[in-house]
Structure 1
């Protein structure tokens, strides 16, 4: 259940107390119990640690041991992983997305629960297969926390050896995929094995509900540990055929910090120098993006390349200096796209469909995203639909040339964003087409008034007395 509160511009916002009451009321309706009729017959889990993100994929075989059909089941996330969880998605055997609803279970306040609504109920004595995907940010901790320019980066992963579930698990197996054979240490619970860059655990039988056992892996990982600390995305919509997008991005290398001095000479001469540093990364823009610019406070950054592909525009962005652990950079990236690809209308009703965020780099993680949409002057009856939960920022007004009332600005933000959040939001509004001629008429009217004033000024005589003309003889 979700409530979308969208106050109109200039109206009084609801008080914080009333909002808190609404949230409490909504949450109180989502209280579930753990069904004893559901068992996980088999769990095949893959923990991918090859990048800075930890991606966990679980193939779950649900079994209905009761006498009545099952229409939903619960996913549980242990308390130690809640803060790092960025995305959860579940698909059925037909690769169709299943609806997820936040819920609670009495007596388990320390656990995050999600109710998964099945498209087809599981009949008594039957089973069904679903695939659950979890993406965690900042789950790989640099260890040691500081390294020299020549050293490799080592990280630690701490998780749960077993699939954390409110249900009894008959059999489960876990594969931990690494990007290296160099493993310093790892948890050893039989049966286990190491095959190249993969740790295989299980199969483990008859695991009870909410079972936890530490899984720790210490290994080499020189993947780019880049974090977008903050991105402010500005989308300005024009009904004259163009949508301008500008992003102000602040990026930090969140891997092991650089210990000791930095030698640019060694860095340029030896390609093995700074293995954990970031020299460049690729950003993907829409295929119709044009007039692309990439600059910082010093001006345009020329160390970049743009490649136009069939389905995207690929930018190879190279900062002015390489990024080591603890180093930051910030820049502005902007482009234009034609409005007909994203803006649809029927009469005076318009629909804008655009991405919440673009692809900044592979396996990106964003601490905070702020998106602002500037609509044309005269827009009203605004409604927004988001593909996932966001925090709405109070609407504001933006003034530019020839504006009289100002342009409405719809703003929202979200924390802990990953590539799975590259989805479209929908913004509907009403805009009388006659308003498109407001600015041209203002220009024409201003010019007409200026000429009229000149004519009046030239024709009228504002002198105090008339000059005396000489008499003719």
Structure 2
């Protein structure tokens, strides 16, 4: 009976922990919070949809407010790549995904304010959203000479669980060529921009269709797969190699491709991609860029003050539906990214780097190869990733193998260019292992040579002939 009682107690304790952790991510919508004003900007000038909202939060209750909720409607949840919030002094605010009972089809994020908003007071918060693959080519196929037209379908109102007293929306196109757009008064159309509002007293979770059909010849490039390999050496170098697959995900090419017309007429293929710029760390050296056919010599490299700029030019221009595959590698000095105190080491590097402007990455796999003998490995990433099983990597003079830490992340954009931290323990005496192995090998080799030269392994001794 006592054993059964202990078992029941353990079960109830575990159940309590599970329920407590689950309830920690369940919030309620406060009726004391109102949005006094929302200025929203929807930038659809590139292949990404970037939404920036300046929110004036008002506390109409009697107690201080320390947090509030951001929401995304169900129709575009699968396209959301990044969401963030900053206060009026541009300091990043902590944001956590959460749920609200009774709103299962809506995604919510809890934003923790730096300072509580007292009763009757206001605070300004800047929210940022980035959506991928939210612009659809229409028509879906074009000829070599045609411009690319795309459609954007969104919400005319700022989607929020709170009452909004006043709100305005600006749609940034950067083109005067607009086929059609939603006309809801009040609105004005200026050069490359459509202004809506102000709209007053919109209720929680308000939705009204916003549709824009316009010309957009910006590069619609998608990194369908990225494999990033980081090999750490305690001898002063970190080697980085990236295997990248890129696809043009815009309107597909209809009809034949004429290279002659493409080279003679610079207006031919306005939606195609001839080249793009990749940025590497300023200390990058020994850069190589190759595909399955070998090194691509048409690329150019420029050393800037704070970066190394690579102008990558594939072997052929990329039209809609076309793909390319290449490998990019370089070295950086370890002292810029690797710190240590005694036997404790800290590696601090970017999880992904800048591949091209307004990039979108479907899937990225990052592998970090540590020196042989590393232990007590702990990884801290700036956002949630999927940790893959650890493995071992063998190179020259390895005996037990080098630990490989790997993780995966999907749907990345430039906002995900952030540093991860990897801590590990490495006995510094192990740095003598490889030199001693080399010395021991050379010693054994010379010893074998000496034995071979000094000893006579012949069966019969040579007879000496004497002169008379």
1:39-74 per-residue CA deviation (whole Å, 9 max, x = no partner) reads: 000000000011000100000000000000000000
> Which residue, 132, 135, 138 being the options, matches 1:140?
135
The residue that corresponds to 1:408 in the other structure is 403
Q: Following the alignment from structure 1 to structure 2, what is the Cα–Cα distance between the partners of residues 278 and 296?
A: 17
C-alpha contact 1:34 1:74 (8 A) present in aligned 2: yes
Alignment of structure 1 residues 286-301 onto 2, 5 Å: 286-301=281-296
1:211-244 per-residue CA deviation (whole Å, 9 max, x = no partner) reads: 1111110000000000000110111010111110
What is the CA distance between 1:452 and its match in structure 2?
A: 2.7
The residue that corresponds to 1:156 in the other structure is 151
Alignment of structure 1 residues 238-277 onto 2, 5 Å: 238-277=233-272
Alignment of structure 1 residues 258-407 onto 2, 5 Å: 258-407=253-402
C-alpha contact 1:44 1:172 (8 A) present in aligned 2: yes
Against the structure 1 CA distance between its residues 338 and 24, is the aligned structure 2 distance closer, same or farther, given a 3 Å change threshold? farther
Q: Following the alignment from structure 1 to structure 2, what is the Cα–Cα distance between the partners of residues 331 and 179?
A: 32
**What secondary structure does 1:109 align onto?**
coil
The residue that corresponds to 1:3 in the other structure is none
The residue that corresponds to 1:230 in the other structure is 225
The residue that corresponds to 2:171 in the other structure is 176
Q: Following the alignment from structure 1 to structure 2, what is the Cα–Cα distance between the partners of residues 66 and 187?
A: 37
The residue that corresponds to 1:446 in the other structure is 441
Q: Following the alignment from structure 1 to structure 2, what is the Cα–Cα distance between the partners of residues 84 and 451?
A: 65
Q: Following the alignment from structure 2 to structure 1, what is the Cα–Cα distance between the partners of residues 17 and 244?
A: 35
What is the CA distance between 1:193 and its match in structure 2?
A: 1.4
**What secondary structure does 1:83 align onto?**
helix
The residue that corresponds to 2:6 in the other structure is none
Q: Following the alignment from structure 2 to structure 1, what is the Cα–Cα distance between the partners of residues 390 and 437?
A: 27
Which region of structure 1 is more displaced relative to structure 2, 448-457 or 115-124? 448-457
C-alpha contact 1:180 1:220 (8 A) present in aligned 2: yes
Which region of structure 1 is more displaced relative to structure 2, 371-380 or 26-35? 26-35
C-alpha contact 1:27 1:103 (8 A) present in aligned 2: no
What TM-score comes out, normalization by structure 1 length? 0.92
> Which residue, 57, 64, 67 being the options, matches 1:69?
64
**What secondary structure does 1:199 align onto?**
strand
> Which residue, 118, 125, 130 being the options, matches 1:123?
118
Against the structure 1 CA distance between its residues 279 and 469, is the aligned structure 2 distance closer, same or farther, given a 3 Å change threshold? closer
Q: Following the alignment from structure 2 to structure 1, what is the Cα–Cα distance between the partners of residues 154 and 400?
A: 54
**Unpaired segments of 5 or more residues in structure 1?**
1-20
1:320-364 per-residue CA deviation (whole Å, 9 max, x = no partner) reads: 000000000010011010111111111111111111111111000
What TM-score comes out, normalization by structure 2 length? 0.93
Against the structure 1 CA distance between its residues 277 and 413, is the aligned structure 2 distance closer, same or farther, given a 3 Å change threshold? same
Q: Following the alignment from structure 1 to structure 2, what is the Cα–Cα distance between the partners of residues 199 and 179?
A: 10
Indicate whether 1:32 and 2:27 are aligned: yes
**What secondary structure does 2:437 align onto?**
helix
1:58-111 per-residue CA deviation (whole Å, 9 max, x = no partner) reads: 000000000000000000011111111011110001110000011100011111
What is the CA distance between 1:454 and its match in structure 2?
A: 3.6
What is the CA distance between 1:453 and its match in structure 2?
A: 3.2
Which region of structure 1 is more displaced relative to structure 2, 458-467 or 305-314? 458-467
Indicate whether 1:426 and 2:433 are aligned: no
Against the structure 1 CA distance between its residues 38 and 399, is the aligned structure 2 distance closer, same or farther, given a 3 Å change threshold? same
**What secondary structure does 2:435 align onto?**
helix
Q: Following the alignment from structure 1 to structure 2, what is the Cα–Cα distance between the partners of residues 196 and 459?
A: 91
1:123-176 per-residue CA deviation (whole Å, 9 max, x = no partner) reads: 011010000000000110000000000001000000011000010111100000
Q: Following the alignment from structure 1 to structure 2, what is the Cα–Cα distance between the partners of residues 458 and 154?
A: 80
Q: Following the alignment from structure 1 to structure 2, what is the Cα–Cα distance between the partners of residues 39 and 252?
A: 44
Q: CA RMSD in A?
A: 1.8
Q: Following the alignment from structure 1 to structure 2, what is the Cα–Cα distance between the partners of residues 294 and 447?
A: 36
C-alpha contact 1:74 1:166 (8 A) present in aligned 2: yes
1:9-62 per-residue CA deviation (whole Å, 9 max, x = no partner) reads: xxxxxxxxxxxx999874443100000000000000000011000100000000
The residue that corresponds to 1:4 in the other structure is none
The residue that corresponds to 1:210 in the other structure is 205
Indicate whether 1:86 and 2:105 are aligned: no
